[in-house]
């Protein structure tokens, strides 16, 4: 189900993507510049699919895969077996900040399932993401446990699936474990491929991740936006009941999808309630499900958007700025919601006195893929 083309947009400047003479690969355009007093200090190249850049750029899904793998637990009967709430489903599709809210939500699932959180094999490096929580733990001399890892929700989905099916619990994270196989099969179904053809890699939390072109990431999130809209006869229609539950759980619990502070995914979903599901992955990948509804200039059907910053964007500034600008140009956000996202739209670097020293400034125009790659 392709994302909706923006055929009514005609940017003033048309910049065709160049190709690298060394590799022959498309060189994505500059999306964001870091500007200090009119001086460009750095440039962030990237792609926004379906609308600008390289739609065939292959990326590892990282955490954007989580809503789709969760289908395996739901279809196995996990909601009834463990009395799972929408908040608990949301956190199993999340990359949470490791705040106390997230820990309590996961611990409640474990108590009802009769399993120990010591099973978690996601590690603790660099966690929790939330700086205030990390500072409090350090102050109190407490080392973060794996439950504060941003992927502990995803790992919990695998653990609960193994518990439900009486599969080995200690090895749930290994690719040969039946729970891992079922999770992988759900991802393959979402992307319309056979499981044995999946291109895989090891994610930072130790489980498998999968690689697809950006256009396929956008297409998968278009499916998440409106699962019932898959064409008649499309095998992915069988995913609709589970994906609808997951989508609605994420929309209803944005703070569990990411966090309460400095998380664009949460802020975007709160600024646009019921309109988007936003999900980031590491190395500056973000996928957005845009639900059908009113846009600037009219009404549009369900759509998916995928954005990738080439340099990994360790400070988040390019990914933040490009995401909000892409949504603005696509007509999804304007007015008060856009003002609510202003600090992400033009992220500022402050000096020790609170003065703006530099800003991330967007520098692209959306255009139909067909016009750029004809």
Query: What does the DSSP assignment read for 289-345?
Result: EE-SEEETTEEE--EEEEEEETT--TTSHHHHHHHHHHHHHTTS--HHHHHHTHHHH
Strands of 18-173 (E only): list them: 18-19, 26-27, 30-36, 39-49, 58-60
What does the DSSP 8-state code read for residue 66? Answer: H
Element (H or E) spanning 358, and its range?
A: strand 356-362
- The pLDDT score that the predictor gives to residue 358 is 94
pLDDT, average across residues 160-164: 98
| Contact of 330 with 275, CB cutoff 8 Å | no
- The pLDDT score that the predictor gives to residue 180 is 97
Q: What gap in Å lies between CA 346 and CA 35, rounded to an integer?
A: 11
- The pLDDT score that the predictor gives to residue 11 is 35
Q: How much of the chain, in percent, has pLDDT values that exceed 90?
A: 82
Q: How buried is 274 (Cβ within 10 angstroms: 0-12 exposed, 13-18 middle, 19+ buried)?
A: exposed
130-139 pLDDT, tens per residue? 999 999 999 9
For tokens 């891992």, what's the residue?
A: 180
Q: Which residues contact 118 (CB under 8 A, 6 or more apart)?
A: none
- Count CB-CB contacts under 10 A for residue 285: 24
pLDDT, average across residues 128-156: 97
Q: Say whether pLDDT at 5 is over 50.
A: no
Q: Say whether pLDDT at 373 is over 70.
A: no
Please state the pTM of the whole predicted model: 0.91
pLDDT, average across residues 91-101: 98
Q: What gap in Å lies between CA 94 and CA 88, rounded to an integer?
A: 10
- Count CB-CB contacts under 10 A for residue 190: 24
57-66 pLDDT, tens per residue? 999 999 999 9
Question: What does each C-alpha distance from 268 to 251, 253, 332, 333, 338 come to in angstroms?
Answer: 10, 12, 11, 9, 9
- The pLDDT score that the predictor gives to residue 230 is 87
pLDDT, average across residues 67-86: 98
pLDDT, average across residues 163-181: 98
For the chain, give the mean pLDDT.
Answer: 91
Q: Confidence class of residue 8 from pLDDT cuts 50, 70 and 90?
A: very low
């Amino acid at each position: 189900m392709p994302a909706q083309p923006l055929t009514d947009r005609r940017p003033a400047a048309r910049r065709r993507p160049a190709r690298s003479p060394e590799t022959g690969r498309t060189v994505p355009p500059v999306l964001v510049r870091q500007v200090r007093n009119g001086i460009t200090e750095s440039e962030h190249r990237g792609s926004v699919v379906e609308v600008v850049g390289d739609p065939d750029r292959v990326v590892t899904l990282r955490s954007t895969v989580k809503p789709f793998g969760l289908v395996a637990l739901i279809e196995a009967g996990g909601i009834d077996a463990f009395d799972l709430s929408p908040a608990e489903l949301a956190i199993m599709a999340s990359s949470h900040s490791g705040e106390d809210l997230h820990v309590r939500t996961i611990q409640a699932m474990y108590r009802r399932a009769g399993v120990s959180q010591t099973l978690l094999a996601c590690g603790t490096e660099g966690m929790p993401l939330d700086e205030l929580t990390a500072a409090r733990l350090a102050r109190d001399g407490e080392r973060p446990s794996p439950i504060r890892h941003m992927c502990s929700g995803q790992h919990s989905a695998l653990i609960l699936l193994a518990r439900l099916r009486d599969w080995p619990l200690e090895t749930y994270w290994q690719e040969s474990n039946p729970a891992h196989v079922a999770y992988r099969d759900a991802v393959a179904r979402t992307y319309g491929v056979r499981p044995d053809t999946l291109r895989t890699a090891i994610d930072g939390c130790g489980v498998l991740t999968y690689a697809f072109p950006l256009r396929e990431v956008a297409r998968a999130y278009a499916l998440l936006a409106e699962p019932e809209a898959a064409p008649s006869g499309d095998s992915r229609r069988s995913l609709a009941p589970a994906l609808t539950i997951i989508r609605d759980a994420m929309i209803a619990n944005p703070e569990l999808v990411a966090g309460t502070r400095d998380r664009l995914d949460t802020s975007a979903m709160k600024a646009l309630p019921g309109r988007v599901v936003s999900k980031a992955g590491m190395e500056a990948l973000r996928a957005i499900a845009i639900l059908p509804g009113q846009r600037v200039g009219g009404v549009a059907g369900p759509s998916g958007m995928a954005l990738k910053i080439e340099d990994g964007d360790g400070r988040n500034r390019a990914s933040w700025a490009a995401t909000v600008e892409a949504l603005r140009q696509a007509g999804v956000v304007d007015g008060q919601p856009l003002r609510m996202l202003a600090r992400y739209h033009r992220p500022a670097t402050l000096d020790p006195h609170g003065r703006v020293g530099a800003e991330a400034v967007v520098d692209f125009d959306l255009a139909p893929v067909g016009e750029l790659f004809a």
